[in-house]
Amino acid sequence: MAASDEGARGRSGSTRRQFLLGGAAAGFGAVAALGAEHVLDRPGAAAQDAPVPVHGTETVPFHGVHQAGITTDAQAYATFVALDLHDDVDREALGRLMRILSDDAARLTQGEAALADTEPELAVAPARLTVTFGFGPRFVERARGAAPSWLHPLPAFEIDRLEPGFSDGDLLLQVTADDQLTVSHATRMLLKDARGFADVRWTQRGFRRAHGSVAPGTTMRNLFGQVDGTANPVPGTADFDEVVWVTEGWMAGGTSAVVRRIHMDLDEWDTVGRAGREQSVGRTQATGAPLTGTREHDEPDFAARTDAGFSVIPEFSHLRRARGVDEGRHDRIFRRGYNYDDAPSGDHVSDAGLIFACFQADVDEQFTPMQRRLAELDLLNRWTTPIGSSVFAIPPGCEPGGFVGDTLLS
């Protein structure tokens, strides 16, 4: 070990654990540590100095049949990172990589520092952190595993203007939490541990409403102002299970992820009136209700006609096309996307869009027919352009002592 000029680190006699406890024992931290409802259990105490509710200590279990971050009520912030494996990373190395990354994720999601974490202080507020891993085609090939038939890049669509810098990849990290600092720290920790095995190919950062801004369960809005996610299958239902989970082989309990970066031309969208906007989707902007209903979750009536004989929910509308109504289909996927808003350039005032992320048991059967239909006809295409695209196999979750990918790698 080289002599260090860093100076003494004031670590004498203090342990990390004591440091954390010390922090929690002092002032506001103590309130945070107890959690809001605990404090509220004691009306006397609560009445006097009403504590600000703190949600940074909320955790989502890491271990389980499925990976977290899919059925988890979508957190406010997301970082998606795709990595390219180094040429020399073989099946054995993949096992080491996933063991380490799983250990990091298991700790960080529970509010503990990762091993060798140089900023353990940043781990204390997990804020419902989840880390979800996905494997690209080359990962499964290196692992010498049986690749699901749908694990390949999507076919090219006419609407695509894909940039390699936002497409494909061998290993996906989806890091999501209600605190951006937590997401940054966790992502960095994972990348430090992946550095010996893989390079970052692309990173995409996204957001939704901040935790607590709107009632839990409120469907998100995208930057077009639309309610986006209404028709999603509902986690915990048999319907959801059927749409999302793979049931066979090493992927049993897993799913697939399609991550597409879709630019939304907000500057052009600005020029479109309410009626035009609503016709393009088939739902109202105010509530997300179908044009044939009044509330968000009303069933759309695709047969309804205007006095002039046109479909109330037009044939070119996103809603109608995505579902496949006029093809006699009802294709399903589970969407869990995030907004992005980058710095604009030139005379544009925004460079924004959707990190469209969705999960389904079979990409070829469920996603691709839908995307093909939308590429053929969907009025929304006028303002949206896919600029990135990737497909990953999301392996099942793991039990304590195991690691994500162990059904493939051990």
Partner 1 sequence: MTTRRTTTTLALLLAAGSLGLAGCSTDDAAAEATSTGTPTTAADAVSIQDAWVKAADEGMTAGFGEITNGGEDELTIVAASTGAAAMIELHETAADSSGEMSMTEVEGGFVVPAGDTLILEPGGHHLMLMDLADPIQAGDEVTFTLTFADDSTTELTATVKDFTGAEESYEGDDPDGDHDTEHEDS
- Site residues (CB under 8 A) for partner 1? 1-9, 11, 15-17, 20-21, 24, 29, 32-35, 37-38, 55, 57-61, 64, 68, 71-73, 93, 95-97, 99-100, 103, 106-107, 110-112, 115-116, 118, 124, 128, 192-193, 195-197, 235, 400-401
The strand ranges marked E within 278-383 are 334-335, 338-342, 351-360
* By CB under 5 A, residue 1 contacts Cu ion: yes
Nearer CB in complex with partner 1: 6/248: 6
Nearer CB in complex with Cu ion: 2/52: 2
Q: Residues near 48 by Cβ (< 8 Å), separated by ≥ 6? A: none
CB of 228 to partner 1, least distance (A): 19
Structure tokens at 278: 């609503």
Nearer CB in complex with partner 1: 4/213: 4
Structure tokens at 234: 């509902």
Taking CB under 6 A as the binding criterion, the range among 16-24, 49-57, 145-153, 224-232 that sits at the site for ligand HEM is 224-232
> Is 239 known to be catalytic?
no
Half-sphere exposure of 107 (CA within 13 A, CB side): 18
Question: In this chain, which of 175, 374, 394, 408 binds ligand HEM, going by CB under 6 A?
Answer: 374
Query: Residue 353 belongs to what H/E stretch?
Result: strand 351-360
Taking CB under 5 A as the binding criterion, the range among 1-9, 74-82, 153-161, 206-214 that sits at the site for Cu ion is 1-9
Nearer CB in complex with partner 1: 33/223: 33
Residue 218 is classified by DSSP as P
Question: Nearest residue to ligand HEM, using CB?
Answer: 231
CB of 223 to ligand HEM, least distance (A): 8
* By CB under 6 A, residue 243 contacts ligand HEM: no
Residue in 117, 168, 170, 228 annotated catalytic: 228
Question: In this chain, which of 132, 371, 389, 390 binds ligand HEM, going by CB under 6 A?
Answer: 371
Neighbours of 309 (CB within 10 A): 6
β-pairing, 77-85 vs 130-135, is unpaired
- Residues 165-204: b if buried by 16+ CB within 10 A, e if exposed: ebbbbbbbbbbbbbbbebbbbbbbbbbebbeebbeebbeb
* By CB under 5 A, residue 2 contacts Cu ion: no
Neighbours of 213 (CB within 10 A): 9
Tell me how far apart the alpha carbons of residues 141 and 156 are, in angstroms, rounded to a whole number. 22
Find which of ligand HEM, partner 1, Cu ion, none residue 107 binds, CB within 5 to 8 Å per kind. partner 1
Taking CB under 6 A as the binding criterion, the range among 81-89, 205-213, 256-264, 388-396 that sits at the site for ligand HEM is 256-264
Tell me how far apart the alpha carbons of residues 144 and 51 are, in angstroms, rounded to a whole number. 54
* By CB under 6 A, residue 384 contacts ligand HEM: yes
Planar angle of CA 400, 402, 405, nearest 5 degrees: 135
CB of 1 to Cu ion, least distance (A): 4
The strand ranges marked E within 282-322 are none
CB of 3 to Cu ion, least distance (A): 11
**8 A C-beta contact, residue 22 and residue 15:** no
* By CB under 6 A, residue 265 contacts ligand HEM: no
Find which of Cu ion, partner 1, ligand HEM, none residue 356 binds, CB within 5 to 8 Å per kind. ligand HEM
Planar angle of CA 154, 160, 161, nearest 5 degrees: 125
- H-only helix segments in 125-252: 137-142, 180-194, 238-244
* By CB under 5 A, residue 3 contacts Cu ion: no
Q: Which residues are bridge partners to 400 per DSSP? A: none
Nearer CB in complex with ligand HEM: 186/291: 291
Find which of partner 1, Cu ion, ligand HEM, none residue 305 binds, CB within 5 to 8 Å per kind. none
- H-only helix segments in 79-228: 91-108, 137-142, 180-194
Structure tokens at 19: 């440091």
Binding site for ligand HEM (CB under 6 A): 222, 224, 226-231, 260, 262, 264, 281, 283, 288, 318-319, 322-323, 333, 354, 356, 370-371, 374, 380, 384
Binding site for Cu ion (CB under 5 A): 1
Could you list the active site residues? 228
